[in-house]
Structure 1
């Protein structure tokens, strides 16, 4: 894939810590839907909540979405090795980044583009660990900020249940929580999307069928559990690809994500 058209990208802080920032991409073309409105997509990267990974693993996806006409807010957050990282700091960063849609992001954009942003139809996309943050933060906000409304959450091979016996003692949940499950079970429950409050956004759990990192059965259980409680949710399985396909702009997982976003 070529480099594509030139895109305007802004590095914007949403908090004082060096990892509390995001890259905001202006769309390559306005009005892709034909109604004069520009979709806004929030991207939350995965990577075990570790500083071994950063928002740059979503750069190619962010560029692809912007090339197709979306404004894209690709966020960073404090990870487990950083001061203030772990839980609840990492979750608080996801909340702050979503709230930044109200004032911080518009201040960086041209007036004409701000006027076109579809703030009443925001999509949040999170991969793996980022999927947990996307699901949890949307639920914690009731799918709304002061000026915006989240209508869709696309959770890509997401970590959805920190309380499951097959999950809770693995290194990623333990590092995020800062202690074993047996010592702080309530904190594990509080951070688990499968136990989050029902909200108005539609949740799409899209999972790579050959995912060896997070089994597809995890998303299947999640959708069944939250739907039973009244959450609008569906499962989409993409056969033949693995966990990292979602950060590959050429993959079937990415094509399916674009379809689900309508972009």
Structure 2
């Protein structure tokens, strides 16, 4: 058995990044200085509140650590970011089996609740090629990255590391322009130095629907002017996969793309997941009547649209696979076809009778072609 220390504390939002930055140093100092320290796991409860699970081998180790307090600079730096203590409890762990390899873990790339992702690692030691996933949902906070967990599981089984990212979206603070774009850029760049098991010279970006747009934009960041959000990427992908991508912002704006969200009672696309944050329906419905592109870009500024549109950036030397179903109820297949034609190394796969969500189902007949293309781009052709 071992002792679990459960401490709940508050951190002011303006101190969150400093706390996260100080965390690795604090944990390293505990490992070096505190007898009996086994692990520490941080849980975000809400915007201000955090829960720290710290495991010790025995009561004496826990008592000794409390007596030492902030005896080292790295520990003091972490404690200095905390606003106040909510409560502290002690418990005893009974399931004393050692933890196995951590094949999935949540990693923050910024201080906001949506600036996180799940990193999946396959069996083995790596370094592994990486597929970064960007989910859709009309760029809104109604849906989240859980839409793509099935895709993540399939790719991990094929030997890829997978980085399934979240980002600030319409309906939450910081979503839209430029926060959504800055977050996707930061999430991709966070791969640099994230884990030695990752081969960041073999990164493929894959996005679905609105996430297809964001993945395409992120793939072409290298041609953005210095003033544009997301310019100067640290990670350059070897390929891009867009699945039912909302790729033509000009056409989407003209068509009022996403105006359907103004009617929460509207029939959703076949197999669409339930909203993960249904409480946002009302606020988003009240602003989406003219479509969501103006909400994403903060208006109709042509410079912003030029910086944000994959159509303006498409001929940027990144190989592209664009997959779209002919029966897609949400996004016109023509947007993917025209984008693939414009891309320098573009391939378009049309799925006869395919719906909006068919293209993200690993059980669908089109998926092996997607996996094969990713394998060719990363040197894992034929892997399963």
TM superposition score normalised by structure 2: 0.57
Q: Secondary structure at the match of 2:106?
A: strand
Partner residue of 1:87?
177
Q: Distance in 1 between matches of 2:180 and 2:116?
A: 13
More RCO (CA 8 Å, sep 6+):
1
Other-structure match for 1:253: 366
Partner of 1:201: 318
Change (3 A) 1:206 1:160: same
Is it true that 1:22 corresponds to 2:111 in the alignment? no
Mapping of 1:1-263 within 5 angstroms? 8-27=103-122, 29-30=123-124, 37-103=127-193, 105-106=194-195, 114=197, 117-141=198-222, 145-146=233-234, 148-164=235-251, 167=254, 169-170=256-257, 171-179=291-299, 181=300, 184-196=301-313, 198-224=315-341, 226-227=342-343, 231-262=344-375, 263=383
Distance 1:69 1:172, change over 3 A: same
**2:39 corresponds to which residue?**
none
**Which of the two has greater strand per residue?**
2
Q: Within 1, Cα distance between the matches of 2:319 and 2:252?
A: 27
Q: CA deviation at 1:195?
A: 0.4
Secondary structure of 2:205's counterpart equals strand
- Name the CA distance, whole Å, in 2 between partners of 1:197 and 1:247: 23
Whichever of the two has the greater Rg, that structure is 2
Which blocks of at least 5 consecutive residues in structure 2 are unaligned?
1-100, 224-230, 258-290, 376-382
SS at match of 1:52: coil
The residue that corresponds to 2:83 in the other structure is none
Cα 1:167/1:221, change in 2 over 3 Å? farther
CA contact (8 A) 1:210 1:241 kept: yes
| DSSP 3-state at the match of 1:69 | coil
**TM-score where L is the length of structure 1:** 0.82
> 1:205 touches 1:233 (CA, 8 Å); kept in 2?
yes
User: For residues 157-187 of structure 1, what are the alpha-carbon distances to aligned partners after superposition, in whole Å with 9 as ceiling and x for unaligned?
Assistant: 11111112774533231321233x3xx2332
Alpha-carbon distance between aligned partners in 2 of 1:185 and 1:144, rounded to the nearest angstrom:
21
Partner Cα separation in structure 2 for residue 135 and residue 242 of structure 1: 21
Q: CA deviation at 1:96?
A: 0.2
Alignment length (residue pairs): 236
Residue-by-residue CA offset, 1:177-211 (whole Å, 9 max, x unaligned):
233x3xx2332232110001633320111112221
Question: Distance between the aligned counterparts of 1:144 and 1:256, measured in 2?
Answer: 32
Q: What per-residue deviation string (whole Å, max 9, x for no partner) do you get for residues 198-244 of structure 1?
A: 333201111122212112111122222x24xxx22121112221011
Would the aligned equivalents of 1:163 and 1:189 in 2 still touch at CA under 8 Å?
Answer: no
Deviation for aligned residue 1:37: 5.0
